[in-house]
Amino acid sequence: MSTLHHEHPVHEHTHGPDCGHPEVPHGDHVDYAHDGHLHRRHAQHWDECEPSGHTTHAGHEHQHGEGCGHPSVRHGDHVDYVHEGHRHAAHNGHWDDH
């Protein structure tokens, strides 16, 4: 799954371990959940960190939800759950990788 490069042009807040926004491990970097989307530091600016395409997480039997033990992160019009170094989102009866 590739991630598109969408620069977030006006982002005055500097994310970091104590900024108050949830940290989300994502491959080789950390995203920060902010205003319903995810930001990552990239070449002296902040990018929107969104996957391209639809990637189903096959064989994901765990059901995420309130109290499941995994951090939840608001992402657009739904909630993602941080699990095994990536985000899962419910989609049409299965889980997607985000």
The number of domains in the chain is 1
Is residue 63 a part of any domain in this protein?
no
Is residue 27 a part of any domain in this protein?
yes
Is residue 60 a part of any domain in this protein?
no
The answer to whether residue 8 scores a pLDDT higher than 70 is no
pLDDT (tens digit per residue) in 30-89: 888 877 777 888 777 777 776 666 677 777 778 888 888 888 888 778 888 887 767 788
Q: Which residues form the domain of 46?
A: 3-52+70-97
Q: Torsion angle of alpha carbons 87, 8, 14, 71, nearest 10°?
A: -10
Closest CA to 39 of 24, 52, 28: 24
